[in-house]
Amino acid sequence: MRRLLSICSVVLSLCLVAVLTPGVASAQKKQEPGTARKEMVVTANPDASAAAAKVLKRGGTAVDAMIAAQAMLGLVEPQSSGIGGGAFVVYYDAKSHKLTTYDAREKAPAAATENRFEGMGFFDAWQSGLSVGVPGIPKLLEQLYNEHGRLPPQLLIRDAKRKAQRGFPLTERTSSQVASLLALNPSCEDRLFFRDPAAFEYFANPDCTAKPAGTMIKNRDYARTLTSIAKDGADVFYKGRIGRNIVEAVQSDRAMAGDMTLDDLRNYRVVEREPVCIEYRGHHVCGMGPPSSGALAVGQILGILESFDLGTDPLGEKAVHLVTQASRLAFADRNVYVGDSDFVTVPVEGMLDRDYLASRAALITDTDLGTASPGIPPGVFDPTGPDTADNESGTSHISIVDRYGNALSMTTTVESSFGNGVLVDGFLLNNQLTDFSFSPTTVDGTPVANRVQPNKRPRSSMSPTIVLDGKGDVKLLTGSPGGSRIIGYTAQSIINVLDFGLDPQTAVDTPHYLNRNGDTDLEEPIPGVTLDYDVEMLKAQLEARGHPVQVRALTSGLSLILVADGKLIGGADQRRDGAIGGR
């Protein structure tokens, strides 16, 4: 925290100072929201926010700042995102007043078959060449830069490049995650996790212990990779030396060889898609459609809740019961209907149809629904069976508003922690293909929408979101890492701001609750990070309504920006290393 305050005061000209937070918590010192007049960035890491804020100060656009932030995150938060992974972006262009979503999700190789992971355990699939999808980040950065960039590319990567060359201290979060994975190996010699010698040398000591937090790390390979992409464009990644190195690493994986080819890389395309939006409390909540389930599930939760008054307490029994019931219903639909819409027919309009959502809301009573069944939304869709799996955890979120009024909400990922664990040219490969269903059909032979198919993108829960007010102006940016819990984190952040009037920082600090059509999860309060509340009392109240309740750690990484009264107001998630930049 001391380091974050220093960065805020010296580099970002923003300071998060302690105050007493009323209402939803007992008296305890909390962080005030960051404020700015011209521009703001919120990421999960202080170095990334500082690099992006510097670009904004130079007159860069939201896209310029995102490139700087992503380049830095790939270095200092490699367990969560990087150029070897993929992302979804929701972008608001101030000149045209248009929202666009960019799908840079990884793709399965052309040689992939439906039974790719059938019968395999998750660990074996994760730590293999079979799990690596064709990365989307470099193409995304190039396309967005060509459409919306302003500053020279070499300037955008400068801070990340210098830090990679000169060294940076390993964070506690990275070190602890390395240690957790190393502990899963049978022995130091018999390693599945960090089996790749380059990754092992980079993150671990020779005795198989994790390098401790504060260890100075250099990554000159990453600096050279960034330099090459900035100079020669994404072709060097997809068609040149870096691409050949990726293919070689995948096809020669020590655990299990993959089947990605250079043609798979050459054929990759970012897809611009129409945003998926729903009206909620007089606002338009917009996000990423299929292959993401994010905007659909968040939209269904909000659309169902439109029928209810949530009360006045964001952690009250009434609000928590209603939101978790709406979430049960949304996940029941999500698990059956959502897959890559280039391969399966997803009833997007039907799932957000007002009459349909009203019929789903009518199922909610004063007691817990139990496991909800999927509905039958209007419209055409493929007959498919449910897929409840979702392992996405190596993820990060970036929210940016620039001085020109452009806004960007981006969730970026390598899938699980440290991707598939193989380091190539200074960056980690993803394991995104384990987000597919491991079985192509249900037990009765019904195809699963999210089954593996050649060139297909796996379903995701990433939920980058931009909320517009009734006039069509940007009101709120939000999103989070967290696997399928992303949907709950994102929906709750919107509800906290729009329904309960919380400022972004208080909205982030409010303990989480969610339901993925199973247990109702309540967040264990984290002293000095989340607001305090009587979790045992709420647990007892919900159990009296029939909820199966689990109290657990819920490690979100929310990045919020609210536009209000001519100001930008930010909230950064201290469950991770969130930081705000701007002026």
pLDDT of residue 15: 31
Spatial separation of the C-alpha atoms in residues 400 and 380, rounded to whole Å: 37
Q: In a 3-state reduction of DSSP, which class is residue 242? A: helix
Reported pTM: 0.93
Instruction: Give φ, ψ of 9 to 5 degrees.
Output: -80, -35
Residues with Cβ within 8 Å of 143's Cβ and at least 6 positions away in sequence, in order, are 102, 270
Cα distance between residue 52 and residue 70, in whole Å: 9
Would you call 25 helix, strand, or coil by DSSP? coil
Q: CB-side exposure of 181: number of CA atoms within 13 Å?
A: 26
333: region left, alpha or beta (phi > 0 left; psi from -120 to 50 alpha): alpha
Options 384, 395, 413, 465, the catalytic residue: 395
Distance separating alpha carbons of residues 335 and 337, to the nearest angstrom: 6
By CB neighbour count within 10 A (0-12 exposed, 13-18 middle, 19+ buried), where does 536 fall? exposed
CA 100-105-106 angle, to 5 degrees, is 155
- Within a 13 Å sphere around the CA of 167, how many CA atoms are in the beta-carbon half? 6
pLDDT at 31: 80
pLDDT tens, per residue, the chain with 583 residues = 333 333 333 333 333 222 222 234 333 446 889 999 999 999 999 999 999 999 999 999 999 999 999 999 999 999 999 999 999 999 999 999 999 999 999 999 999 999 999 999 999 999 999 999 999 999 999 999 999 999 999 999 999 999 999 999 999 999 999 999 999 999 999 999 999 999 999 999 999 999 999 999 999 999 999 999 999 999 999 999 999 999 999 999 999 999 999 999 999 999 999 999 999 999 999 999 999 999 999 999 999 999 999 999 999 999 999 999 999 999 999 999 999 999 999 999 999 999 999 999 999 999 999 999 999 999 988 777 677 665 556 799 999 999 999 999 999 999 999 999 999 999 999 999 999 999 999 988 999 999 999 999 999 999 999 999 999 999 999 999 999 999 999 999 999 999 999 999 999 999 999 999 999 999 999 999 999 999 999 999 999 999 999 999 999 999 999 999 999 999 999 999 999 999 9
Locate the DSSP E strands across 94-176.
98-104, 168-169
What is the predicted pLDDT for the residue at 577? Answer: 95
If DSSP codes are grouped into helix, strand and coil, which group holds residue 533? coil
Q: State the pLDDT at residue 11.
A: 33
Q: Is 395 a catalytic residue?
A: yes
The ranges assigned to domains in the chain are 272-361
Longest dimension (CA), the chain: 62
- Smallest CA-to-CA distance from 309 within 281, 344, 343 is with 281
Q: Which pLDDT score, from 0 to 100, does residue 390 have?
A: 59
**Cα–Cα dist 197/183, whole Å:** 17
| E strands in 388-497 | 394-401, 407-415, 423-424, 427-428, 465-468, 474-478
Closest CA to 411 of 293, 278, 235: 293
Strand 567-572 and strand 34-36: pairing? antiparallel
The closest alpha carbon to 149, from 404, 526, 454, belongs to 404
> Domain spanning 272-361: which CATH class is it, in words?
mainly alpha
CA–CA dist 242, 265 (Å, integer): 10
Residue 367 pLDDT: 98
Three-state SS at 101:
strand
Q: How many CA atoms lie within 13 A of 249 on its CB side?
A: 28
CA angle 194, 195, 196 (to 5 degrees): 90
Q: CB of 491 within 8 A of CB of 497?
A: no
Q: For position 443, what pLDDT does the model report?
A: 87
- Sequence-ordered list of residues with C-beta below 8 angstroms from that of 300, at least 6 positions apart, any chain: 326, 329, 330, 333, 334, 351, 352, 357, 360
Q: Which residue from 307, 305, 317, 358 is spatially nearest to 491, judged by alpha carbons?
A: 305
CB 396 within 8 A of CB 137: no
Residue 274 tokens read as 């129409």
Tokens coding 511: 């303990």
User: Encoding tokens for residue 355?
Assistant: 């009459």
